[in-house]
Amino acid sequence: MRSLTVVAVLSVVLGLTCATQWWENGNYYQIYPRSFRDSDGDGIGDLNGVTEKLQYLKDIGITAAWLSPIFKSPMVDFGYDIADFYQIHPEYGTMEDFERMIARAKEVGLKIILDFVPNHSSDKSEWFIKSVNGDPQYKDYYIWHNGKINEETGEREAPSNWNSEFRYSAWEWNEVRQQYYLHQFAIGQPDLNYRNPAVVNEMKNVIKFWLAKGVSGFRIDAIPYLFEIELDRYNEYPDEPLSNDSSCPDPDDHCYTQHIYTQDQPETFDMVYQWRELVDEFHTEHGGDERLLMTEAYTSFENIMKFYGDGVRNGSHIPFNFDFLTSINNASKATEYVEHIEKWLNAMPAGVSANWVLGNHDNKRVASRFGVQRIDLINILLQTLPGHAVTYNGEELGMTDVFISWEDTVDPSACNSDPEHYYDRSRDPARTPYQWDASSMAGFTYADHTWLPVSDDFKTNNALQQLRAPQSHLQIFKTLVRVRQEPSFRTGALKIQALDDDVIVYSRQKEGSDLYVIVLNLGSTAKTLDLTKYFSLGAQAEVITSSLQSQYTNGDTVTTSAFVANPNVGTVLVAIN
C-alpha cells in the first residue's frame, strides 16, 4: 500500500523530559454542572450532585474536573453571565456545598478547575448597576459610548457596526445613563473595560479568591474578546470591514464583518501573561501543587501559539487546540488528520505540551459529528496522542445530541434566530442531562422533569450499563486512560503517517520501553496491512484495546504482517518482545 505522506518522526521530547507536575499529560474532564447530577430534585444539576460523582471520575482515570460556571447568575447564558463573581449560584448550592466538593475532591485525589469568565459580567451585576448610575468607582468598568448622530435622519445610532456573537448589534442603549454599552455576547452580558486598571485588579482579586478556596486552576473563557481597539482621536470606534462571505449574507449575523477591532488585540496576550504570573506567585507564596491555566480562544493558529508565552513570559499551560472541532469532520481524510496533528506538534514552543480538544458544551457531540460508529476510534486518537486530553462529559459513553424543539430551546444563540434556522445555532442538543443509569430520568434526578429533555436512548446507553458490560465505550475509555500512563505514552516519540485516504498508523515509544502501534481506519471497508513495513514489530503483537465493533478483543494476539483494520475501528497494539 503506497504511503501518501512522508512519515513524521517527532522524536524530540514531547513536553518536559519527565512528568513532574500533576497536570502534565493530564486527562481533563469538562462538567456542565446544570446537566451532570441533580441532588435535590429540582431538575437542575448542582454541586452536591458533582460531589456524589467525583469517585466515578477518579475511577475512570480523570486528572482534573473543569466545571462550567457555577457563580451567581440570572442564567441568560446559563452561567456565562455572572452577577457576582464571588458567590455560588443558588440553584447550584451554597459556598458550604462548594467547600465540601473541594474537600471530597482532595480525598479522592482529583483536582477541581473553575471556569473563569473575564470578558463580561451580567447586566444584573452590582458593578454594572453602579456603572449605569454613574458611581465614580464603577463609571468606567464597562465600555460606554454616546453613539453617533445619523446625518440623514438626525437620529442617534450605535457607535459602530459591531455585531454580537448572538446576532444583531453589539451595542445596547441604556435609558438611565443615556449611552450605549458594548456586549459582544447577549444583551445581558456587558463587556468589561480592560483598559481600566481597576477592572484588571478586580478580576485578579476574583482569581485569588477562588485559589484561596482550594481550586487548582482556571479555564479562561472567550479570551479573544477581552480588548477592543482604542477610541480614535475623534472619540469614535471604527466600523469593521465586511467579510464578503457568500455563506453569511445576513447583516445581523456575527460573521457578516471581519472582527479586526473587537478580537485578538495585542493587549490580550499581555493579560494572559499577567494571569499566569498571578497563579505562579500564588503557588510560590502558598505552596502546594502548581496552579493551572487553560485558555479558550477560537482564533488563528499563530495567536494560539502566542498564548503559550512570548519566549520571556509564560502564558497558558494549555491553550486549547480546537483543530479537531473547527477543521476536521466526518468527511475528513486521513491525511488531513495527520496534517493537523503535525502542525501543532511542530509549531509548539520548547518545553510545553500539546493538547487535544474533541468536544465541549458549545459544539455538537463527538458521536453526532463523527458518527456513533467512530466514537471509540476518536477516543483512541484523543488518548494516544502526546500531551493533554480534554473530554466533555458524556463523550466517554458515546452520548449523542438530543433533538430540542424550537419551543423547548433555551440557548440564547438559538433563541435569537427563528424556527427555521435555530437548530444549527443551538448548543442545547449537547447540553442534555448526563445518562447515569436506566432508571427514570436516566438517574440524573428523582424529579419528574429536567431543565432540558433526557435522551430517548438512556435505557441502553448509560454509565452503569457500560460499567457492568465486559466491553463498552466506557470500558474502552478506561483502558485507554490506564495505558496512557505507560512511559511510552507519557514522553515517548510519535511516528505518524496516513497510508491512504482512510488509514492512519502511528507509534509511541520511549527508548527502553514498550513499542505501541495505533491503527485507525476511517473508511467503510476493511484493509489488510503489513505493519512491519512501517514499524519495527516482530511477527506478532498484542491488542490492548479496540473499538466496540472490532473483530479483536483485549489480549488477542495478531499477525503484524497481515493485520486487518476493520472499518471505522481504532486499535491499540503493543509489540511482543
List the catalytic residues: 221, 296
The whole-angstrom separation of Cα 259 and Cα 553 is: 50
Contact 550, 571 (CB under 8 A): yes
Cβ neighbours of residue 267 under 8 Å, at least 6 residues apart? 194, 195, 226, 227
CA distances from 457 to 105, 328, 569 (A): 30, 27, 23
Helices first, then strands: H and E counts in the chain = 16, 24
The whole-angstrom separation of Cα 172 and Cα 417 is: 18
Transcribe 374-416 into DSSP letters: GHHHHHHHHHHSSSEEEEETTTTTT-------TTT---HHHHT
Return the closest-CA partner of residue 320 out of 286, 357, 281: 357
Contact 320, 357 (CB under 8 A): yes
- The tally of CA atoms less than 13 A away on the side-chain side of residue 492 is 24
Cell of 200: 484588571
Residue ranges of alpha helices (H) inside 34-140 are 47-52, 54-59, 95-108, 126-132
Cell of 259: 472582527
Cell of 569: 475501528
The whole-angstrom separation of Cα 59 and Cα 466 is: 14
Contact 221, 165 (CB under 8 A): no
Instruction: Give, in degrees to the nearest 5, the angle at Cα 101 between 96 and 104.
Output: 125
